[in-house]
Structure 1
Amino acid sequence: MKWLIVLLVILQNTLADRVLVLGETAAIKDTHSVYLNSITARGHELTIRAADDANLALFKHGELIFEHLIVLAPGVQVFGGSLSSSEISKFVDAGGNVLVAAGSNIGDAIRELAVENGFEFDAPGTAVIDHHNYDTSLDSGDHTTLVINKNQLINAQLIVGDASKLKPVLFRGIGLVAGRQNRLALSIIKGTTTSYSFDPKAQRVTNPVIAGTRTLLVGGLQARNNARIVFTGSADLFSNAFFGAKVNSANPSVQDKNAQSGNAALADAITKWVLKENGVIRVKKVNHHLVGETQPPPQEYTITDDVVYTIEIEELKNGKWVPFQGKDVQLEFVRIDPFVRTVLQNKNGVLTANFKLPDVYGVFKFLVDYRRVGYTHLYDVQQMSVRPLWHTQYERFIRSAYPYYASSFSMMIGLVLFSIVYLYHKEDRTTGVATKKSEDKKKQ
């Protein structure tokens, strides 16, 4: 019995997602303990190391050692071991997920990693400043301890949770921007119109590089292989101090005074999305057949056939696969260009569509290409040939050919009438010739 328990424990640890957490020092276990314990409580296996540890590695014998990477080391200049910005990019290409938290003391390692993934942090020593939305009790006078409101969050519940229930969030750190060529960038938390990034110790502010809503406090992206990356300018956002702090915004429009901060809820929501606990969907089963049949897909269809297409989609929620309830999944019937595009009807995760095939033959595809913010990219293709009708399948009488039928019958009727008339005139001509010969004989 004891051996069975040990075996189950080993199996559970093997199946758990492995997360590498990098901090500047071992003190991260104390300053961010609540955040790290919440990740462990959800079944992840954490390995906490210093960012400059000489034994750091993400691959071993070409295989991933960890599924996820969390960097809480804003000031690291060079990663230890085999880690580098290019190595982490390879990690992302292999399907790994990354969460990076920076700060005003940002080092070169974090800046290079951000540039490698289409983001750019402001210069070291700068911070996001907002003279209208700062915390009156926690701020040191430079207005860099900001209070984030609901309208600054991205409209995606899968990433930031339920914004309507979220309390004001505290932020203190550096700003970043998304590159113009980064089409996959997500503005998870934006600055307000009165925010800007500059050195808070400067005597005079002149032409800040980042200002207004262009300023990103938290940015992210989902790569084309569904790997997820999040960059935030504040490591304090995940700290115990901000988790337990009371928020007092200088903005009079904020109603929640001396309320518990929403940092814990927001950090959990963002981390769940990065670690793929939320927003993961997959195809369970696909089938298509003629209307009235339940057999597997035929070898080919005929033009204008009535077809039923069915796809079953599942969503990962709380560690279990449940039926996907989305109502906006579309099906395309494609031959170079879509000939049919229709919305699938969802009944508890079973999505169906009934439609008539076009009067065009060739090689077609049943295509489902579902892209929504927060969800993994769902792509499924089923190829099928569509042939023309056999000669025995055509209609005997085609309505559009009725004029031609009429002309054919009219020609036949005309031929009969012409034949009758012609024969009748031939008899008169013979009679007339015979009479003329008899008259000539009498004259002789």
Structure 2
Amino acid sequence: MAKFITILTLIFLLTTKSRSFSPENPTDRRILVLLDDFAVKSSHSLYFKALKSRGYELDFKLADDPKIALQRYGQYLYDGLIIFSPTIERFGGSINHAAVLDFVDSGHDLIIAADVNASDLIREIATDCGVDFDDDPAALVVDHNSYAVLNSEGDHTLIAADDFIQSDVILGSKKIEAPVLFRGIAHSVNPVNNLVLKVLSASPSAYSANPKTKLLNAPMMTGSAISLVSVVQARNNARILISGSLSMFSDRFFRSEVQKAGSSTRHEKSGNEQFLTELSKWIFHERGHLKAVNVRHHKVGEADAPSMYRISDDLEYAIEIYEWSGTSWEPYVANDIQVQFYMMSPYVLKTLSTDQKGLYYTSFKVPDVYGVFQFKVEYERLGYTSLSLSKQIPVRPFRHNEYERFITTAYPYYGTCFSMMAGFFIFTLFHLYSK
């Protein structure tokens, strides 16, 4: 009986997996939300409600619940993970630091919200994802020039931030008019790491320090080097959001009025809801997810792909690229997609033309070099999942019976040969019959 129940459970897991995240439907659907306290579910209800309204299935658990797990029988139970438990020292169940990283390494997405009380566990996960929180456990982001006037408490730790990343695919095409309210800790991004992007940066006047103590030395983290919210797109196209503030997701910050210091404009509502909603669409692959299909190549005038090409053949290459809109695949339109005909180095590099309907194509002549080549498409663009495609194909030289018999440039040599034969014939006649 126990074996029968196990088999049924495994079948259930496999079938539910096929209905959610898949190449044909890349949007995350089942999300595990880990909380320090179930009160967060109520205090941050607007953010969770926005996710549910877009079809997400949220499973709320306490972070120290002894029964929680990310996978069972080798199958992941969830497509995404939200950690709203900044103070947790140790996860419950089978989840630990390594399990969270394995979850991301397997292609799943992650949201982490830290706070001034962030535990070493949360800080270590963030470090492994590419960002470093301020080492001072009592430090907050302070800004005496860009604080929120209407909610100022004197210490200027409530920041009105509006330095957003300039990317429509990450934050949507609609401009965020109101500043985003932020109260939390700072983190830095390694400038060498091109996988991590700052989507919300502090102003040049910001710094990270303990607001309750006198500042004796220059802060370690200052100005625009401070990142308030960062995202990571891993090489396997998994996406991660790291925020130094849990309260910026709260209903209070969503509904709050905001006026930035030095500005006369007063906004009825902060930009938090628009900013985090649009950002979550990108994190959970509702935007910026590409796929390539129908990759094909053949000689000009033919339809089928050959087993190999001959040097100097004229060939055609085509590929179709589509972008996921959250509900369906739409043609992706760009003018910077290139194909390489590659052997040790690219012998041919061509920018693909497009019909504006998802089809990209080009034609070129096979170089006069034989060996094993590859068609390679390596496409990386800010905010979009990367495409890496390769197809191996041999290139052979001319066979002995494929060379042109008489070529124009060899006519002088032909003339020399026949003139020598004629001269020898005349000389022979003259030598034989002359006295």
What residue number does 1:189 align with? Answer: 200
* Equivalent residue in structure 1 for 2:275, among 263, 266, 271: 266
Q: How far apart are the structure 2 equivalents of 1:51 and 1:388?
A: 64
1:127 aligned onto 2:135: no
* Equivalent residue in structure 1 for 2:56, among 29, 44, 47: 44
- How far apart are residue 418 of structure 1 and its match? 3.1
Residues 218-367 of structure 1 mapped to structure 2, 5 A cutoff: 218-252=229-263, 256-293=265-302, 295-347=303-355, 348-367=357-376
1:81 aligned onto 2:93: yes
Q: How far apart are the structure 1 equivalents of 2:80 and 2:17?
A: 17
- How far apart are residue 105 of structure 1 and its match? 1.7
1:25 aligned onto 2:37: yes
With normalisation by structure 1, the TM-score equals 0.88
- How far apart are residue 175 of structure 1 and its match? 0.5
1:272 is paired with a residue whose SS is helix
* Equivalent residue in structure 2 for 1:401, among 410, 413, 420: 410
- How far apart are residue 75 of structure 1 and its match? 2.0
Q: How far apart are the structure 1 equivalents of 2:265 and 2:130?
A: 36
- How far apart are residue 201 of structure 1 and its match? 0.9
Give CA-to-partner distance per residue, 1:12-63, whole Å, 9 cap, x none.
9953721011121011111110100111111111001122222221121222
- How far apart are residue 180 of structure 1 and its match? 6.0
What residue number does 2:384 align with? Answer: 375
* 1:168–1:256 contact (8 Å) kept in structure 2: no
Judging changes above 3 Å, is the alpha-carbon distance between structure 1 residues 202 and 86 closer, same or farther for their aligned structure 2 residues? same
Give CA-to-partner distance per residue, 1:157-196, whole Å, 9 cap, x none.
2222236344321111100012466442212222221111
* 2:176–2:275 contact (8 Å) kept in structure 1: no
Q: How far apart are the structure 2 equivalents of 1:147 and 1:400?
A: 76
Q: Which amino acid aligns with 1:49?
A: K
* 1:118–1:181 contact (8 Å) kept in structure 2: no
* Equivalent residue in structure 1 for 2:168, among 129, 139, 157: 157
Q: How far apart are the structure 2 equivalents of 1:407 and 1:329?
A: 52
RMSD of equivalent CA atoms? 2.1
Q: Which amino acid aligns with 1:334?
A: Y
* 1:325–1:349 contact (8 Å) kept in structure 2: yes
Larger radius of gyration: 1
Give CA-to-partner distance per residue, 1:246-281, whole Å, 9 cap, x none.
1111033xx642342111111011111111111111
Q: Which amino acid aligns with 1:384?
A: I
Judging changes above 3 Å, is the alpha-carbon distance between structure 1 residues 52 and 181 closer, same or farther for their aligned structure 2 residues? farther
What residue number does 1:142 align with? Answer: 155
Q: Which amino acid aligns with 2:184?
A: G
With normalisation by structure 2, the TM-score equals 0.89
Q: How far apart are the structure 2 equivalents of 1:92 and 1:19?
A: 13
Q: How far apart are the structure 2 equivalents of 1:222 and 1:364?
A: 30
Q: How far apart are the structure 2 equivalents of 1:143 and 1:350?
A: 53
Judging changes above 3 Å, is the alpha-carbon distance between structure 1 residues 399 and 167 closer, same or farther for their aligned structure 2 residues? farther
* Equivalent residue in structure 2 for 1:58, among 58, 70, 74: 70
Judging changes above 3 Å, is the alpha-carbon distance between structure 1 residues 408 and 251 closer, same or farther for their aligned structure 2 residues? farther
Number of residues of Structure 1 aligned to a counterpart in Structure 2: 412
- How far apart are residue 421 of structure 1 and its match? 4.4
* 1:158–1:269 contact (8 Å) kept in structure 2: no
Q: Which amino acid aligns with 1:121?
A: F
Judging changes above 3 Å, is the alpha-carbon distance between structure 1 residues 205 and 280 closer, same or farther for their aligned structure 2 residues? farther
Q: Tell me the percent identity.
A: 39
* Equivalent residue in structure 1 for 2:209, among 194, 198, 208: 198
* 2:176–2:271 contact (8 Å) kept in structure 1: no
Q: How far apart are the structure 2 equivalents of 1:100 and 1:216?
A: 14
Q: Which amino acid aligns with 1:361?
A: Y
Q: Which amino acid aligns with 1:251?
A: G
* 1:153–1:163 contact (8 Å) kept in structure 2: no
**Which ranges of structure 2 fall in alignment gaps of 5 or more residues?**
1-14, 21-27
* 2:176–2:274 contact (8 Å) kept in structure 1: no
Q: How far apart are the structure 2 equivalents of 1:24 and 1:164?
A: 33
Judging changes above 3 Å, is the alpha-carbon distance between structure 1 residues 367 and 13 closer, same or farther for their aligned structure 2 residues? closer
What residue number does 1:208 align with? Answer: 219
Residues 406-425 of structure 1 mapped to structure 2, 5 A cutoff: 406-423=415-432
